[in-house]
């Protein structure tokens, strides 16, 4: 295939992506006219939430943020890295696109939480242990007592997707194994756009009954979630990630709000993290 044909193919793919995103924006335009929502209405909603036993973070911003539509090529980045993991017994599963690895020798992890995280950072950043490890950032809200979860980081923000995640298991003061998926590099496919505020996202969730009574909103954070797949490219959009704790069970659920439209994402919207 000559160089000209390759250029035309890339042009066509990105044109299709641009058309798709344009249709999405027209179908669900961002309503930014509520940036100056009446203070009385805000106070009333907060009062209603308190009456329902819903606790919010002390500092919940009503300022807009910004983000991009991002794209990543749907490719297998991990299978070719198994042979380079000389410190690990590793294998790659094509069925779920995950890399599974176990240390060949004991890897001790000791100390307080800060010391443990420092040792895990050192472990994952060694390419003989974990491929692309330096591109992953610790996410405490997705981690349990024995499982430490890291999400793929990029120049534009963190990606919250099952296909961009590293989970390291530590038991009895040793790393026993890890599971990893990797999305590859991402790049923007549209210009920077304004998003709704964190408060707008919480208000929309409450209105849509996506926050149960007797619960606590632990954190609201901007990240990227998968939107769709177009001609071999995976498209991500800015998402307000909301961690909600059930006050009775103490289970934590993460939900995703489209940061452009305030709509709940209907695919892969939540999961539970048990805190022991």
Quick one: which H or E segment has residue 177?
Answer: strand 174-180
Greatest CA span in the chain, whole angstroms? Answer: 67
d(CA 89, CA 18): 42
Structure tokens at 155: 């120049």
Q: How would you label 5-34 residue by residue, b for 16+ Cβ within 10 Å and e otherwise?
A: eeeeeeeebeeebeebbeebeeeeebeeee
For residue 269, the model assigns a pLDDT of 43
For residue 31, the model assigns a pLDDT of 46
DSSP state of 221: E
For residue 266, the model assigns a pLDDT of 76
d(CA 135, CA 183): 11
d(CA 41, CA 62): 13
For residue 246, the model assigns a pLDDT of 93
For residue 43, the model assigns a pLDDT of 75
Q: How far is CA 144 from the centre of its chain?
A: 16
For residue 144, the model assigns a pLDDT of 87
Question: For residue 172, what are the contacts with CB-CB under 8 A and spacing of at least 6?
Answer: none
For residue 30, the model assigns a pLDDT of 47
d(CA 175, CA 48): 46
Using CA atoms of 36, 37, 40, 41 in order, give the dihedral in degrees to the nearest 10.
-170
* Of 107, 108, 168, 109, nearest in space to 133 by CA: 168
* Count of alpha carbons within 13 angstroms of residue 73, beta-carbon side: 7
Beta-carbon count within 10 A of 204 CB: 18
User: Distances in Å between the alpha carbon of 32 and those of 46, 189, 202, 207?
Assistant: 20, 22, 15, 17
Domain annotation for the chain: domains and CATH numbers: 3-71+187-273 (2.40.128.690), 77-183 (3.30.310.160)
For residue 33, the model assigns a pLDDT of 44
Residues of the chain with pLDDT under 50: 1, 3, 6, 28-37, 268-270, 276
Which residues are bridge partners to 90 per DSSP? Answer: 101
- Whether residue 169 contacts residue 227, with contact meaning beta carbons closer than 8 Å, is answered with no
């Amino acid at each position: 295939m000559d160089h000209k044909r390759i250029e035309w193919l890339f042009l066509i793919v990105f044109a299709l992506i641009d058309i798709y995103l344009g249709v999405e924006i027209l179908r669900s335009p961002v309503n930014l006219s509520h940036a100056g929502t009446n203070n009385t209405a805000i106070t009333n909603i907060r009062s209603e939430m308190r009456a329902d036993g819903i606790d919010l973070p002390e500092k919940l911003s009503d300022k807009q943020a910004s983000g991009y539509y991002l794209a990543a090529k749907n490719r297998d980045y991990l299978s070719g890295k198994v042979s380079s993991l000389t410190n690990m017994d590793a294998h790659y599963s094509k069925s779920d696109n995950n890399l599974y690895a176990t240390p060949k020798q004991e890897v001790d992890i000791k100390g307080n939480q800060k010391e443990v995280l420092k040792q895990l950072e050192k472990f994952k950043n060694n390419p003989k242990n974990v491929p692309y490890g330096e591109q992953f950032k610790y996410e405490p809200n997705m981690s349990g007592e024995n499982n430490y979860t890291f999400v793929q980081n990029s120049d534009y923000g963190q990606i919250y997707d099952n296909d961009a995640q590293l989970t390291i298991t530590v038991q009895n003061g040793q790393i026993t194994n890890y599971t990893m998926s990797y999305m590859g590099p991402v790049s923007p496919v549209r210009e920077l756009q304004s998003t709704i505020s964190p408060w707008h996202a919480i208000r929309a969730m409450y209105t849509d009954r996506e926050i149960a009574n007797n619960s606590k909103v632990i954190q609201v954070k901007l990240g990227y979630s998968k939107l769709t797949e177009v001609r071999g490219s995976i498209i991500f959009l800015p998402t307000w990630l909301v961690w909600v704790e059930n006050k009775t069970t103490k289970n934590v659920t993460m939900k995703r709000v489209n940061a452009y439209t305030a709509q709940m994402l209907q695919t892969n919207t939540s999961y539970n993290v048990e805190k022991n």
